[in-house]
Every structure is written in structure tokens, then in C-alpha cells.
Structure 1
Amino acid sequence: MTRTSRVFPVLTWLFICLVACLALLLADAAQAASAPSGKWLAEDIDGGGVIDRLQTTLEIRDDGIVTGMGGCNRYAGSAKFDSTTIKFLPMASTRMACSTAVMKQESKFHITLDKIRAWRIDEAQRKLILLDGQGFEMMRLSRMD
């Protein structure tokens, strides 16, 4: 048996393993881009920006469970989504009172969530863009995780 005949099967096996690993990595990347899952921080709500240092968050799990902080109150609910569309279902929320400005932003956040019908991710900037039924940007959030 020559050296080449011994090395060739090993190299072939290594190449197959490398291709399999790359396929798994590409599948994970494609799945990440096909779901809005993750923890997100609101940067803009309906074109009005957000209050500095106020944590309005949105966490979407792969199974559709939604949780977060409106700024004053915690909320939870669910969403139905596919590769481009999303619909947030009614949310349950705590009922704490905060300053008027914080409560206005929180209310605007929930009202805007009701209008959302589509989503896209800007991977380069790590942003989740939520759109209304006409395709207008209604909310922009940055990835927290």
C-alpha cells in the first residue's frame, strides 16, 4: 500500500466532515434570519424615537412566546410569525404607574405592536425592523443578545 493510498481516504473523510460542519453553520444562519427570535431593545417607535435610558424591550422566542418590559410594566403574550410576517396577539401586563412620559411611551409601544404585520432583520446593524400592513417601518429595535 502506497502512502498516497493511505492518505487519500483520511483526506476524503476530513473533507466530508468539513462540508458537513459548514452545512450545519449555514443552516443555523438561515434559521436565525428566518425568525425574529431574540431579545430586542426599542430604538424607535412609530417615528418618534424613545426616551433615553428607558428600557423598552421585546423578547420573541422560537415557539412564539413574547415577553418584555414596556418601560414601566412587564408584559407577556404570544405572536404568530413566519419568514416575513408577524402578528402579535393580545398581551397581559402588570399595572404599575410611572411618570406621564414613560406611560405614554409604553402605551405607544403596545398600540404600535397591534399594527405590526411584517418583519425583517438588518443583520449588518443587528436590528429588527417591524412593519405595518403597507410595509412602513413602525418600530426599530436593536439586538440585546
Structure 2
Amino acid sequence: MDTTTAPNPLHQVPRLDNQLCFALYSTSLAMNKLYRKLLRKLGLTYSQYLVMMVLWERDGLSVSEVGERLFLDSATLTPLLKRMEQAGLLRRVRAASDERQVIISLTEQGDQLREQAATLPEAILNASHCKVEQVVEMKQQLDLLRGNLMKSE
């Protein structure tokens, strides 16, 4: 009787193709490349698009509220918001009730991009060659993974 056991994959030299982190990273690169192409028509970067989506959902948020939604700190977000303000997409105004707070609001130009951006989810879905149900399930799994990873920090 053979008493040898199969080698534990956790004790083997890590292979790039077996790594979840690399699958996520390389998929993110591919997704960002596709978005870059689509967003060029709107004159937005991917980071700017994320900010716009947050504001299209609920306008008039503080910088910290936008940062919480995007998992970004204000040091990363502030230069991005300044560029977007210079481009005429949004306004940054100090809150009357607390001057330490900066409120972000869409301009008319920024709000008008919403209609043009409405075609992006379908374009991404078509490029994925996935069914809607598959994408929804993947997103739910990734949300769960992100939450678990954030808990373990």
C-alpha cells in the first residue's frame, strides 16, 4: 500500500497562473484598457468616471463621502477633483456649516455626460461575452472577497 501523499500545493513554489491576485490584477488591466478606449469619447479617465458615477447617483457629497464610496483617501482624491473642476465637470465648495468640509457638485456639463455614459455598461457586457447573470454573480463574489480582505487587514 502506497502511503505517500500528494504534495501540498501551499508548500510548492507559487506559479503565477495559479494566483488569484494575478487573475484579479490582469483582469483589472484588461478592464481598464477597455474603459480607457470607451471613456476617451467622453473625455474622462477611469478614475474620473468613477467619481462621476458616484455624483450621478447622489450629487452634493463631501470629499470624504466620495472617498468612502471609491475606497480612496482625500490625498489621492483631491488632485483628481481639482482637475475635474478645471475641466468644468464639477464644483468644489466649502460647506457653510463646517469650512473643513468640501462639497462636490456636478456642473451642467458634468451632469450632461450621464446620458453619454449610459451606453458603457452594455458595451462592457458585450465585450465580456458573459451573460448578465454571470456578471452579477462575479460582482457579488468580488464584493464578498473585498469585504473579507478588508476585514483581515
TM-score (norm 2): 0.29
Q: Tell me which protein shows more helix as a share of its residues.
A: 2
Ranked by relative contact order (alpha carbons within 8 Å, sequence separation 6 or more), the top structure is 1
Q: Tell me which protein shows more strand as a share of its residues.
A: 1
TM-score (norm 1): 0.30
Please identify the structure whose Cα radius of gyration is greater.
1
